[in-house]
Amino acid sequence: MSSSRFAVPLLGLGQAINFASSYYLLGVMADPAARATRLGTQPLFLALSVAFLISAVLTPLAGRCVERFGGARVLAVSHLAFALALGVLALAPNAAVLCLGVSLLGVGMSGGLYGTAFAIVVEMQGQGARRAIAAVSLLGALGGALGWPISRAVLDVVGWRGAFAFWGVVQAVVCMPVALFLLPRRATSPTIKSVNEPVRWCPAMVRLAVFFAGAWAVSTAMGAHLPRLLSDLGLDAATAAWVAGLMAASAIAARLIDLTVLHRSHPILTARAAALLHPAGAAIASIAGPMAAPAVAIGQGLGNGFLSVASGVLPLTVFGPDRYARRQALLLTPARYFQAAAPSAYAVAMDVSPYVALAAGSLVCLVLFALTFGLRPTDQRPSN
């Protein structure tokens, strides 16, 4: 299809916008919205945890819909869901409706983030989709690098309601038409029998699900607490905020490394790098003191970048393209639940000591690293 040539940049643009208007939205918008509605920021972040839970519940359904109807249509519905949630946020008359709008972001997150975009690439390229997946992930990382500055700039001009409305309009006017009319459609449709056949769990799927759950939980916890963690390690508040930005830059660098250097290697190496980089940064900061605190942000950012690529490529390599969308949705569902709980759990460790928090995250990552040795590089499983 002629549109296939532009599919990767279009998917990457959509992912950047989706992340900027969901995962990274409250980083800038929580304080002004909370003040205006006489609400503390904590209830808003609790609502974001509810959004993760909603996403976890709906992710398997999204995977089934991708398998039945194709990824482009599911992505279009997700953009609409994001637009409606952002509209609720922009028009919220009180704190309760504001929290409702944040929670509703979970509907769009269930089918609008990397899983569906990767499935579209696999629909197009099959087993050879690794570089395209890495490219979509690289472009999607701009949602973290540019989402906060764009939200801040719009907020300064039109206020918090206008900023929510801005992202809602972008979702409805830019992203949804792109998904409906410019993204390629799947060439063939699956049979009803194949769609209705369940994907059965096997030991390799369990290992991958545990790996992604633990890794994304650490990533989400660090994203929520990194500036505070850096302050507790000895940096002043202004320096900590600047250093925290290295995480986004490092995540982009990791994706670029995988796209250009590691694309011929087995993705299990990418997964192992994702697991080891957080402990490496934590160890450097713990041993060398406050001057080495940036190692935490850099290590976590690099790990995040490799993790996003591994979450798309490793299931494809281990199981092949058959039923990719549904299987990957199942693999990532536990991660959504762990993401919902991770910020609160990490806060408990932070209250004890920043070094206890770093040690806890590192221990999880080292366990995940060990799990990857149960996945054989040539492992191929039956389709169901």
State the 10-residue block means of pLDDT for the chain, 384 residues long: 75 94 86 90 87 94 92 96 98 96 96 94 91 93 82 93 97 96 75 68 93 95 86 88 86 93 89 96 95 95 95 92 92 92 88 95 97 67 44
Output phi, psi for 164, to 5 deg.
-60, -45
Q: How many other C-beta atoms can be found within 10 angstroms of the C-beta atom of residue 58?
A: 21
One-letter amino acid identity for 379? D
Q: Where are the beta strands (DSSP E) in 226-341?
A: none
Token pair listed for 204: 């390799």
Helices in 113-202 by DSSP H: which ranges?
A: 114-125, 130-140, 142-169, 176-177, 192-196
DSSP 5: G
d(CA 204, CA 372): 10
Q: Which two tokens stand for residue 169?
A: 């309009």
Q: Is 373 helix (H, G, I), strand (E, B) or coil?
A: helix
Residue type, 381: R
User: In angstroms, rounded to a whole number, what is the distance separating the alpha carbons of residues 271 and 313?
Assistant: 10
pLDDT at position 31, please? 86
295, two tokens: 């190692």
CA distances in angstroms from 349 to 152, 353, 365, 369, listed in the order given: 30, 6, 16, 22
Nearest to 85 by CA among 36, 33, 21, 23: 21
Name all domains of the chain by residue range, CATH numbers in brackets.
Answer: 7-184 (1.20.1250.20), 199-374 (1.20.1250.20)
Extract the tokens encoding 377.
Answer: 């590089």
Alpha carbons 267 and 256: distance in angstroms, whole number? 14
Q: pLDDT value at position 376?
A: 65
Give which of 154, 56, 14, 41 is closest to 102, Cα–Cα.
41
**What pLDDT, on a 0 to 100 scale, did the predictor assign at position 340?**
87
Candidates 171, 8, 185; CA nearest to 78 is 171
3-class secondary-structure state, position 267: helix
> What is the reported pLDDT for 133?
94
Contact 75, 112 (CB under 8 A): yes
Return phi, psi of residue 323, to 5°: 60, 30
Which residues have a Cβ under 8 Å from the Cβ of 122 and sit 6 or more positions away? 129, 133, 316, 321, 324, 325
Question: Which residue type does 316 have?
Answer: L
The Cα–Cα gap between 241 and 203 comes to: 42
Which of 51, 53, 77 lies closest to 66, judged by CA?
77
The rounded distance, in Å, linking the Cα atoms of 80 and 173 is 10
Nearest to 14 by CA among 76, 57, 68: 76
